[in-house]
Structure formats: structure tokens, C-alpha cells
Structure 1
Amino acid sequence: MSTTATDTTHGADLRRKSSAVVGTEETRNVVDITQLNQEDAALAAQFGYTPVFKRDFGFFATLSFAASISGCFATVTTTFLYPLEAGGAASAVWCWLISGAGCMCIAASVAELVSSYPTSGGLYTCVSRLAPPEWVPSISWITGWLNLVGQICGVASSEYGAAQILLAAVSIGSDGTYKPTASHYVGVQAALCVFHGLVNSLNTKWLAKITTSYIVFHGAVLVTCAIALLACCDNRHNASYVFTDVTSASGWTPIGFSFLFGFLSVSWTMTDYDATAHITEEIDDPARKAPWAIFIAMALTYVLGWLFTIVLAFTMGDPADALASEYGQPVIQIYYNNLGKAGAIFYAVCAFLILNTVCLTAIHSLARTVFAFSRDQLIPGARLWKKVDKRTDTPILAVWFSVFWCAAINLIALGSPETINAIFNVCAIAMDWSYCIPIICKLVYGRFTPGPWYMGKASTFVNCYAVAWTAFVSIIFLFPTLYPVTAENMNYAIVILAAIFVCAGVYWVLGGRKFYVGPIAEAEVVVGVQHEKDDSSVDKTAM
């Protein structure tokens, strides 16, 4: 592994210095790297982290995990509303093509960084290697909190979307007599959060098995649904309508501005690229397998998502009818109109199952993020959240920390069901900027050491485009998607983001800047057993 013996000067020196600053509240583990496999030895030598997880993810399981994060079929089902409302068929089709290219640049840039710095901290850890030492604490603090909040919002919105799809299927089954309310959505999503927390409390090998079978199921559902829609639709639109008709239902003018709101569907579907980074300490040969899994999974999502969106545009009928769906989901209405009651229920349930897998993997990734951030004392209660249960080899308390906040944030819907849309926007903005900050550090400071997965001469251009694209769409995602703007349809993403920055800023001022020094080493690395400390001080969980 090319990173085993490299990059130990700047990174390791910084971590040893950081540990000295933290003090001796906890005795650091002594890790004998001669007793570890190659990947765990690299983790200890390069980053000063004690290996605690089993590497149960091979390449196919890792690829399935990366693909499951997007949940293309299900996430298109829950977000097709945005481009349809913004500009009709053309917005849905072209926003996927344009925004997907920008998302691919972000994904490639993230894959490049993950290859060089494969730890559970993900892009947050990269900052300690890419920024000057004096800037590491403040930059990594911002990056870490953006990433954490973005993931929480991402899981919360996925859980809420799963509840919407499930209750839409129930409504169809009752022939419309059952009308779900906001309290029903909140109750179901909370129950789903608990279920996903229980699964993630099990040994990691179970999740690896689930995601391995998922990719086959997902592909089969997407392909058969596309074929069924095209075969059963009696009134398909022509190509001219699909690719050129722009009809806005948003109320914004000029219509070209309204068209841009369609980017949200793609950015929400093609995000959380670093979820795979957060399980790199559970992947065999992560410096190669993790970045390839990220890139291939996002490329498949890009192509298949675009093609499926085109199919929906051809078969959706009157867009006003889809938008006015009594089931609350335009795509579910399209299924119902073309495939009948049974077909609509079947594919709604398929979307629900797929989105459940998205939530399972996303909570897994979030829990590993909480574990990694706690290891570096980024969040309150770090001593609790970084504990790993010896029976299951999982950070169970970190899992339930994640479950609690993902369920709690959706309580917003009880006060204003429309406000829940802001969670989608916050997810896209916060996650993408948590990626772009390390990318900017890479471009500005020139401290980057390439890993096995590297774009070569194209790297700088791709990185710059990723940052520019994120800046562009972030502005769009802060606008209300409907006009005129009222208290009910206001985009509260800016309020949520402001609250996040205020809370993180206050925490930093009151105590964070005093004890937080960025990613820190928790292990003293030795070669062989010739050291002064007794063997009992070695962390047996690392062996």
C-alpha cells in the first residue's frame, strides 16, 4: 500500500504536537504495527489512530454501499417534484445533465482525497494534511460541523421521504380514503429511524451483506419500471416536448430563473460522496477500492438517473395533473396513471425498500462520522460516542446519537410541513461545502500528496469546476422555489444554516478553541515489542 510509509512527517508530527496540547486526560494506546495487517498498520502509522473495526467490506460490497447512498430510483421518485415545478419536462431532463456533470466533478475530487487520506473522518481529516498547521483547528472545525449537519439533514430527509412513499402506497391501497397528515409522516419516519438504528447496532458484516444484494435489486427495479412505463403509457409525449418544453408552475419570472430550481433534485440525489470515506477503516485496501467505488457509483447514478428522468418526462402526461397528485408524490401519480393501482403500489413499495437501504447505509456512515469526530473531540460528549461495543464491533452509542438527531429534526414538519423541504436544501449545501473546503485547501496550499487514485493533469481543472459549481448552486438553493413568497412556502434553509453556524460558533468561542486542535493521534506507534511500556497497554481491539 503506497500510503503505509509515506506522509508521516507532517501528519504524524502535527498529531503528536496536537496530542501534547490536549494533555494526558487519557492514556494513549500503544500500537505495535508489526502485529497489524497492512491497512491497519497504515492507519496507525499515517494518522495515529488505533484500528478498532473489522475490514468486512470487499470491493463489490463497497461499490454497493456507495451506490446505495444515492438510491437513484427512490430519490428521483421523491425529488422529481422540484424540476417539474420549476420548468416542466425540459427542466427535469437538462438539469440532470448539467447538474450531474458538476456533481461528477465533486465526486471525482472527493475520490482523489479519499485515496490519499482513507480514515473514518473523511474530508474533515484531510484538512489536517492540506492546510497549514496554524489553520487546521478552525478550518477542520467548520468542515466537520458542515459535514455532520449535512449528513444529519440527509438522513432525516431520506427517512421523511421513505415515510411519504410508504403512506402514499397505503393511500393508493385504500383508494384514496386514507389521507396521511404531517403527524403521520413524522411518526412513521421516527419508527423507521429506530429500526435503522437497530440494524446498525448489529455487526458490520450484516450491512455488508445487505448492500451487496441491494445493487442487483435496485438495478432490476429501475430497468423494469422504465420498461413498464414506456410499454403501458398510451399517451407518450414526443421528443420535442420532452427536451424543449419549459413550463413553470413556480411563479418565478423570468422562466429561465425558475428553470434553475430543478438542480436540487440532482444535487440531493448525487451527494454524500464521502459516505464511503467514513467506512474506509472497514474496507480492505481502502486507498484503491473506496475512491473507485465512489466514482463508479456516482457515474452509474448520473447516467441511470438521467435516463430514468427522460422516461418519466415521456410518460408523465399532464404535468399539472402529476403536481396535483392526491398522493403527495408526482412520480407515484405517474405510476398510478400508467400502471394502475397494483403497479403503483408495487413500485412505490420498491422505492420504499430502496430508500430504507439508503437510510441504513447513511446512518452507518453518519455513526462512523460521529465516532471519528468524537475521537478528535469535535462534538460534546466525545467520550461516549467514540466507544466501540466489543460484542458487535460497532460504535452503538454513536449510532443512537445519529438516530436521535435524525428523528428530532423532522419534528419541524409538525409545525410546518412545507418547511421540511428546507432540510433537502441544507443537506445539499452543507455536504457539498464540507467537500469543497478541503478541495480549496488542496488548490491553495499545495500540500497534497496523491494517493493511488489520482486524476493527474486533469485534477486542478476538475477541482476548480467542483468549487465553482457548488458556489453557483448554493445560491439557488437558498431561494424559495415558489413565488409569491409566503410564510408557508418560504425556504427556511438559510435560517437553519444560520442557526448551525451560530451554535457551532458559540461552542467554538466558549470552549472549542481552548481544547480543539484538529484531528489528533490517539495511539503511540511502535515497531515490534521493544518499548518501555508493558504489553498490557496495547489496545487488543486493534489486533
Structure 2
Amino acid sequence: MDHFKTDNALADDGHPLRNKVEPTSDLSDADRALVAEFGYKPVFKREFGYVATFSFAVSIGGVFSSVATTFIYPLQAGGSASAVWCWLISGIGCMCIALSVSELVSAYPTCGGLYYTISKVAPKHHVPILSWITGWLNILGQLAGVAASEWGAAGLLLAAISISSDFTYLPTVEHTVATMAGMVVVSGLANSLSTYWIAKLTSSYIIFHALILVSCMVALLAMATVEKGNPKHTAEYVFTDFENQSGWPGGWSFVFGFLSVSWTMSDYDATAHIAEEIQNPELKAPWAISTGMLFTFVAGWLYNVVLCFVMGDITGADSILASPIEQPVAQIFFNVLGKHASIFFTISAWAILKFGCISAMQSTARTIYALSRDALLPYSRIWTTILPATGIPMYAVWLTVVLSIAINLIGLGSYPAIAGVFNVCAIALDLSYCIPILCKVYYGRFTRGPWHLGKYSTIINLYACLWTFFVMVIFVMPTNLPVTPETMNYAVVYLVAILLFSTVYWVTHGRRYYSGPPVDGDISR
């Protein structure tokens, strides 16, 4: 790298792995800003344009496949009414979070994401501890998200195989874990490519996703006919029918339908973590986050409405909730479209979710790199190593692979335990967003970027945080009564465990060696 000059590297005492950099004339404007305003050395090539960045943001939600893997939550919580209205209500709250994140990313576009923003929006003496907590919550949420997505993708692939066998083959947990492990390795191999090839691959994703989503909704509505034995429900049923199968009182049961939305519309800052690979990230990153989440919100609601029209009975021995493949949406495909079309759309859902896994792993690896260059993670020197041949943090990618597989091995011992990992994903990520958002509002130190919310900023920020705290309560509650070891929600156990680990690591290491993200250019502090 002869684009910049550097001073001293990391000292042996463990201080942050960032170098003081003097920009030179051959750097792009974004890289010069990265040096002058944020104090980081440019190491990534900026290959992501508008299309690739928007496609990346949409892939994180992966609405067609994410609805397929989470549709069971609103069905058990309240049936059709829960699926339709919870998506609409929760989607508004999720959009407020996405807009708040977009505003911060526009002002501070680094691959540290919202973790980095703490150094700009909080007083200097609070930066180390606040950024430490935010960083650990964010990496926990991202790792859990990759693991959850890979598990869901494995389930969809095995469901397609089960349909092709006329349900003579039924997947086991062992099969799911083995399939998941193989697919995580595939994601690792894809993320070992250079940014150029990843951007090219990402650009084509949005076209495939949109075509599959629209064609599936049209096919379901056209094929669900009385003549074929699959009559559509009435609009009254779709929007008003409430069937509580959770065991909780009706009003409380209904809100568990928010889980599907919050799990799909999550990881808002994933696009921020590739900011140092985006051209003009102060504009393209927030634009992609906000419009990508809007696409997911609108398309997801319409898709839920269509599924509710054609899903048939959700109670009884032959209902979609009693499906032998434990995939209600794949069962709807089979019931309405027949064997061959259901295999096609289930495989398509797998492919869409699989690409989302690749994008999520890219984001997670960049987060590991960003946290390590500030010496937040153990063995930081290793995770900041950039492979010259591809220009990517290779060790960070394969650390993500290993940890994702290790997390999902929990499923061999207990499915409820692994389900808790999936729930903690949204809790940890949303908390990591609320900390910098609240700092922005409370301390008033925010200098907005070119993409901002104007006079509506504060009210949107506050609603985003209030909504997050409300949904957090739902995420830690068991979704079915009575509570047994099989229905227990272990999300809070994982959240406490990671907070305990990060606290111990802070006491033994962090408070001596960690000073938070750099504050170069911030003369006010």
C-alpha cells in the first residue's frame, strides 16, 4: 500500500492497531475522509456502487426466505390477523430504527458501523466503556445472525429434499447441523473472494429476489382455487381471524407475531460494515439501508397477506402447523402449487437465504476487523491481517465460519437452546443501535452528514429506541405455555453470558489497553 504514509504500528503493550495516516493525493475522497476525519488507514477497495449496495442491504433481510423460516411465530401467536397486522405495526418501528441508523452511518461511514459513532456522539471519558459494550453486543448479534440464517437455510434445503421424496424422508436435527456446517464453509469460501467479485455477485441478487417474490405471489393467488381443492380465504378472514395457539392470554399472544418482523427487518447496520468498500458511502450506505428496509417492509407485508389468503386451515391434523417438514410456508407451496413448483420455490427461498448468509458473513468479518484494529477483541493482530491477493481480512472471515458452526452445534443437544441463539440476535443488535442513538439525542454532539432526517430526527430516534425496548421484552419471553425445558426461551441466558464475558475481559484487559475508536479530527473533545 503506497497510497499513504504511516507512523508507528501497534505497540507491544496492546494499544490499538490503527496507524496515524497522512493522506496523499492519489486517494479517493472517501479514503481521504477515512484518514482525516476518522483516523483509519484505507485497506479495502471501493467496489460497491448504488446497485450492489442496495442489493446487499436487501439481501440482509432476504424477505422471501426470512418470512418462510419465521412464519410459524405469527401463526401460533394469533393466526392470520397476527401475521398481517403485526408485520404492519412492527414494520413501522423497524423502519424508525433503520432511518436512525442511516442518519448515523451517513455522518460516520466506517466499517465499525454504529460502534464507531460512539467516539463522536459521547463525551470523551465515556467513550471507552460505551463503545466496548456496543462493540461486544454488535458482534454477538451478528454472529448469532449468521448462525441463525445458516440454520434456516439448511432447514429450507432439507425441506425441498423431503418434498421431492414425497415426505418419505424427514430431516433430523443431526442432518440439519451437518448441512448447516457444509453451507457455512461455502459462505466462507465465497467471502474469500476479492471485494470486486463479491460486488459483482451481489449486484445480480436483487433481480433474482424480486422476480421470485413476485412470481411466487402471483402463482399462489392463481393456483389457490376451489377446483384444485385449495380455496382462498376471504378478506375478512385474512384481516380479522384470530386463533391463539400459544397458551398465553389473547392480547399477549398476539404480540409474539412481532418476532417474524423483527427477525427479518434486523441487522440494519450490516451495510455500514462494508462502508469502506462503498463508493461515496456517506450517501450510498444510508440510502441503501433506508430503501432496502422499505422494500423489505412493503414486500414482506404483501407476501404475508398473500400467504394468509392461500394457507388453508392452520389447526387440525392436516394443517400447515402440523407439517412433517416443520416448514409451514414450504407446506403451503406444496398444498397450493404441487410437488414440482413447491420444490422450485423452496429451493429459491434457500438460494435467497443462502446469499443473505454470505452477505451477513461479509458484514461480520468486517466488524471483527474493525473492532480488532481498535484492540477490542482478543488476538487483535490476527484478525486485522489483510490477505494481499484478495484484499480481505481472511482470518476474520474464517473465524466467523468457525464460530457460526460452533454456535449451531448447540442444536445437537437442544433445539430450544439453539432457538434462544436466534432470538438473542435481534436483542443484541438492536441494543447496540440504541446506545449510540440515545447518546446522539442526549449529548447533542451529533454533526449530521449529507443524508439526514431533518427536524424529524429526534422524534424518530426516540420512537426507535422505545420500540426496541418493547420488543426486547417479547424476545426474552417463551412463546408457548406451559413453560418446560422444551418451550423455554434461552435468549436471556446468552445475553447475560456475553455481557458477563465482556465485563470480565474489560476488567482484566480492556480498561488498561482499550481507549475506544480514534477521535482524530474531533477537536471539540
Q: TM-score when scaled to structure 2?
A: 0.94
Equivalence for 1:352: 350
Q: In the alignment, which of 239, 243, 263 is matched to residue 239 of structure 2?
A: 243
Q: Quick check: 375-384 or 25-34, which moved more?
A: 25-34
CA deviation string 1:458-496 (max 9, x = no partner)? 001100000000000001111000100100110000111
Alignment of 1:97 onto 2:88: yes
Residue 105 (structure 2) aligns with: 114
* Alpha-carbon separation, structure 2, partners of 1:30 and 1:284: 20
Give the match for residue 190 of structure 1.
181
Is structure 2 residue 483 aligned with structure 1 residue 485? yes
Does the aligned pair in 2 maintain the 1:49–1:521 contact within 8 Å? no
| d(CA) in 1 for partners of 2:283, 2:370 | 21
Out of 132, 147, 150, which is 1:159 matched to? 150
Q: Is the 8 A contact 1:419 1:489 kept in 2?
A: no
In structure 2, the residue matched to 1:133 is 124
**In the TM superposition, what are the counterparts of 1:524-543 in structure 2 within 5 Å?**
none
SS at match of 1:201: coil
Residues 194-251 of structure 1: per-residue CA shift (max 9 Å, x gap): 1100110111111111111110000000000001110111211101111111101111
Q: What SS is found at the alignment partner of 1:494? A: helix
CA distance in 1 between counterparts of 2:301 and 2:17 reads 51
> Which residue identity lines up with residue 270 of structure 1 in the other structure?
M
1:172: which partner in 2? 163
Deviation at 1:419, TM superposition (A): 2.4
1:326-370 deviations in Å (ceiling 9; x for gaps): 111011111110011111111000000001110010000000000
How big is the shift at 1:25?
8.7
Counterpart CA distance in 1 for 2:302 and 2:17 is 54
Instruction: Give the drift of 1:407.
Output: 1.1
Q: Secondary structure at the match of 2:79?
A: helix
1:451 is matched with which residue: 449, 452, 457? 449
Kindly indicate whether the alpha-carbon contact (under 8 Å) linking 1:251 and 1:483 is maintained by their aligned counterparts in 2.
yes
- Name 1:497's counterpart in structure 2: 495
**Distance in structure 2 (CA, Å) of the matches to 1:56 and 1:23:** 32
Post-superposition offset of 1:509: 1.1
Deviation at 1:31, TM superposition (A): 3.0
Given that 1:87 and 1:248 are in contact with CA atoms closer than 8 Å, whether structure 2 keeps it comes out as yes
Deviation at 1:26, TM superposition (A): 6.9
1:388 alignment partner in structure 2:
386
Aligned to 1:12: none
2:365 aligns with 367
Partner SS for 1:205: helix
User: Match for residue 32 of structure 1?
Assistant: 23
Structure 1, unaligned runs of 5 or more: 1-15, 524-543
| Structure 2 CA distance for partners of 1:91 and 1:51, relative to 1, 3 Å | same
Which AA in structure 1 matches 2:238? V
Q: How many residues align?
A: 505
Structure 2, unmatched stretches of 5+, are 1-6, 226-230
- Tell me the alpha carbon deviations over residues 146-168 of structure 1, each in whole angstroms, 9 at most, x when there is no partner: 10000001110000000000001
* Aligned residue number for residue 509 of structure 1: 507
**Could you say which residue in structure 1 is the equivalent of 2:415?**
417
Contact 1:203 1:393 in 2 (8 A): yes
- Per the alignment, residue 228 of structure 2 pairs with none
Deviation at 1:522, TM superposition (A): 9.9
Which residues in structure 2 correspond to 1:330-345 (within 5 Å)? 330-345=328-343
Paired letter, 2:513: F
Q: Separation in 1 of the partners of 2:232 and 2:422?
A: 31
Q: CA deviation at 1:24?
A: 7.4
Paired position in structure 2 for 1:469:
467
Aligned to 1:145: 136
Q: Could you tell me how far apart the structure 2 residues matched to 1:86 and 1:69 are?
A: 25
Query: What is the root-mean-square deviation in Å for CA atoms of aligned residues?
Result: 1.7
The letter for the 1-side match of 2:517 is P
Structure 1 counterpart SS, 2:406: helix
Alpha-carbon separation, structure 2, partners of 1:430 and 1:127: 16
State the 4+ residue runs in structure 1 displaced beyond 4 angstroms. 19-27
Query: Corresponding residue for 2:431?
Result: 433
The 1:194–1:60 alpha-carbon spacing in structure 2 relative to 1, beyond 3 Å, is same
Contact 2:38 2:520 in 1 (8 A): no
Match of 2:285 among 286, 290, 306: 290
Task: Name the residue aligned to 1:7.
Answer: none
Does the CA-based 8 Å contact 2:139-2:367 persist in structure 1? yes
Q: CA 1:284–1:217 in 2, change beyond 3 Å: closer, same or farther? A: same
Given that 1:29 and 1:522 are in contact with CA atoms closer than 8 Å, whether structure 2 keeps it comes out as: no
> Contact 1:33–1:45 at 8 Å: present in 2 too?
no
Percent identity, aligned pairs only, is 57
Please state whether the residue corresponding to 1:458 is helix, strand or coil: helix
Give the partner amino acid of 1:273. Answer: Y
Following superposition, the deviation at residue 438 of structure 1 comes to 0.4
Q: How many angstroms apart in 2 are the aligned matches of 1:323 and 1:151?
A: 29
Partner of 1:399: 397
